[in-house]
Structure 1
Amino acid sequence: MFLRSTYPKNDSRFSGLILILRPRKRDPVGCATVEDSMTGVAWSDRYVTGIKAIDKDHHSLFELLASLVEHRKARSGPSAVAATLHALEVYAAEHFEREERFMLSAHFPGFETHRRAHDEFRTLVQALARQYRREPASIDLDKVSQFLAHWIGSHILVEDMAYVPYLNGTVSAEVDDTDTPPMPIEIVLRVPPGKHEVIKRFAALMRDGGEVADTLENTLNALEHHREQVLDHRVRALFGT
């Protein structure tokens, strides 16, 4: 990347000055860079948590990134790319659920913050896959690969490594009301603490049927449609061609 000087040409001190910015191979926290994403981020010992199930899942994420890079290089058809993006959706659902169960069982105090990061990634990947299925040409796979490469570094090397001492038993959380992550309440879906009564009331109104149930359903559909539009806009901003 080159930035040419905007100093006056008649000033001999700056005539022809060119500032050259060279990308670094790694940033301070080890996040994968754009250069890495073009060849595929390589699995190495620094990504190992020592928790077998988690490491197996993370290795699968590396394979998905490598598949996307190969699709770009080979100019694969939309069906092959869509299948990989769907696999990424499945990965996010299954791996995050497993990881969150482990964190809860270990009373990891950073659970809620970590869960929110999972939710954000999961919804973004779902929106990305949906947009690609609708308009494959609208998605830049280079940008998707760059995003995933950076996410691998920032999430696995920083956020995931924070829970490792709790899961392997070298650090124990004090189990009390202040720092124990509240267990979610299982109804049909995992419901945030404090919201189960709202869900029960909603279910009761829907169960009774009639005009109120129809109004609630229409409102829910409108909210979901608006949420999809917001996510679609974000996907186009991040990954659009």
Structure 2
Amino acid sequence: MVGRRRRERIVIRAAIVGLGSWGQNLVASVQGKSDAIRFVAGATRTPEKAQGFADKHGFPLHDRYEKLLADPAIDAVVLATPHSFHAEQIIAAAKAHKHVFTEKPLALALRDARAAVRACAENKVTLAIGYNWRFQPALMEIKSMLGDGRLGKLLHMEGNFCGPSVYRFEREHWRQSREEGPAGGMTGRGVHLVDAMLFLSGRIESAYAQSSRSVRDFGLDDTTSMPSSTLTPGNSKSAPSTGRIRICTAGRRS
């Protein structure tokens, strides 16, 4: 049985891996607020930077991922680490019989994604990916409208995800690395658009992309679009000051 009972509910005892700004956001969003999950440990490559945060939220901090995997008091790991780490960390967690929630993308290569999924299946642990848009009320309503026929036959979708993220990270930050973002802005953020469209319409038959640096002269491509034969998602990280997310759908009632 996973976790411990609290008032007849199972509480997942989780460890956070990676305590940069997003890892801290994940912890702060639930710690002391949720009766379903509690962070009981953490690991980061730079523990001296996150010790104060860990102390504030009441869990010990380690400098090695392996220490978390060896702890029988931990049920699951939450990965907020660089993209290229995900597959290897998922496989290690599965072999240690820990459930996994990983930030997107799942992996940077199809073979690695398949290996991670296979490891979790073979070890009978749950693997979840941070595609939280699927739980947005508006998107869930569109899904319902497609399911019950109110929207009719789906003809077209397009999306745009703009924001000032490219300005947040300086040259040396891992998010500016082309190795960590081989698909440019689509790697870490535009995947939300793609997943939302998969959620609404199913598999994409074919796709291609175009990508460029439009804002800064270093780092990953900040403007990426991915038209396809049936869907037209677009992603941009180059808006100078404000963020905007939009998904449009068009249907025809028969």
Q: Please report the TM-score for the alignment, with normalisation by the length of structure 2.
A: 0.23
Q: Rg larger in 1 or in 2?
A: 1
User: Which structure exhibits the higher relative contact order, with contacts defined as CA atoms closer than 8 Å and separated by 6 or more residues?
Assistant: 1
Q: Please report the TM-score for the alignment, with normalisation by the length of structure 1.
A: 0.24
